[in-house]
Each structure stands twice: as structure tokens, then as C-alpha cells.
Amino acid sequence: MRTLRTLRFAIASAPSNGGSRGSVGPQWAPKFATTQVDATAAWSDLSDAAARQERIDRLRRNRAAAVPLRVAFPAVQHLRIELKFESSSTKAPTLQSHVLHPPAQAFFDFPCPYADCDGHFDLTGAINVALADPAHHGAGVLECSGLRLRDWASKRPCQLHLIYKVMATYRRDI
């Protein structure tokens, strides 16, 4: 258990000089009190929020560092990625659709849509397979292995299923 110091203000009456001008009236005077608080929960919330923000920042940096689609796949006019989520335990997040054009970063790592989950879906391999396929499309299922905050104590994985479809359209002039 941690000890937190709290600052409380109270009105303190200062001595007056008989009501004459210049008398000092009530003043704010800080009084310190030590309060015993179980700060583990508050610390945990802060560290979870900080960890989530770090993951978001890392994904953002990695996306910014990725090469553009026109460099990674010069013949691709645009790439369509559809993400459908299924969950057996909770309401599944809504469908996501991403259309990437040549200037977009060739970054295919998507965070789990549950805000309290630390997992992600890396579709890089699936994209490469789809682009190598003569039909220029691919589909598959991935499972999130991240941990959700509500299941942190049990260390049970998120298990959100991602059903993805990838479709590439190639330029005709190449």
C-alpha cells in the first residue's frame, strides 16, 4: 500500500489588530494530511494507459517509417483490405475497409479494435501472398493473441477473430 499526500486548504483566522485598518482577515493556509490509499489500482490504470499510448505511438512511428505502396509494389494501382471481426464472448466491432493508393504507406499492421486490448493483427504476409496470387486477391482468418484489461488477471487472450479479404488492382500500363 502506498501513502499519498493530499493537500487540503482551510480558512485560518489570522490575528486582527483590534479591527483597525490594515487588519488581516481570513486567509487560505495549506494543511497537509497523510491519507492511506491503495494506489495500486491508480498506478495500474496509469501504467496501462501509458503502455497503450506507447503501442499506439510505436505503430504510428512504424507506419511513418514504411515505404510508400508505389515503392513496395510499383504495379499496384490500389489495394483494398476488408476487415470483419467476430467474437464469441462480446459484441464484435464493426467492419473496417481500407483502400490504399500508391502514396499510402505500405504498412499492414492493424491494432485490435478493442480499446482495452494490447494485441494487433499483422497482415504483411497475407498481403504478400495475395499480391503473388495470379487472381490478385486473398482471404483468411487471424486471431488476436493480445490481452484485454478485463482479462488481465487470468491472462486469457482476447481471441477476437479477424476475417480479412485483400484485393489488388494493377495498373494497365505496366
- Answer yes or no: do 83 and 21 share one domain: no
- Kindly state whether residues 27 and 73 are assigned to the same domain: no
pLDDT tens, residue by residue, 42-65: 445 556 677 778 888 888 898 899
**141 and 56 assigned to the same domain:** yes
Three-state SS string over the chain comes to: CEEEEEEEEEEECCCCCCCCCCCCCCEEEEEEEEEEECCHHHHHHHHHHHHHHHHHHHHHHHHHHCCEHHHHCCCEEEEEEEEEEECCCCCCCCCEEEEECCCCECCCEEECCCCCECCEEECHHHHHHHHHCCCCEEEEEEECCCEEHHHCCCCCECCCEEEEEEEEEECCCC
Q: What is the distance between the alpha carbons of residues 148 and 168, in angstroms, rounded to a whole number? A: 33
Specify the number of domains making up the chain. Answer: 2
Give the residue with greater pLDDT, 138 vs 154.
138
pLDDT digits (tens, 9 = 90+) for 5-26: 333 333 333 444 444 444 444 4
Together in a domain, 93 and 142: yes
Task: Specify whether 94 is located in the same domain as 73.
Answer: yes
Least confident residue range of 69-73, 88-92, 164-168: 88-92
- Where in the sequence is the domain holding 61, given as residue range(s)? 43-170
pLDDT at 168 over 90: yes
Residue from 148, 164, 168 nearest 156 by CA: 148
Mark whether 77 and 117 lie in a shared domain.
Answer: yes
Predicted local confidence at residue 28, as pLDDT: 42
Same domain, 55 and 31: no
Do 24 and 60 reside in the same domain of the chain?
no
Residues 33, 49 within the same domain: no
Residues whose CB is less than 8 angstroms from the CB of residue 109 and which lie 6 or more positions away in sequence, other chains included: 59, 62, 63, 120, 121, 122, 123, 124
Task: Please check whether residues 128 and 163 belong to one and the same domain.
Answer: yes
pLDDT above 90: residue 118 = no
Inform me whether the pLDDT recorded for 70 exceeds 70.
yes
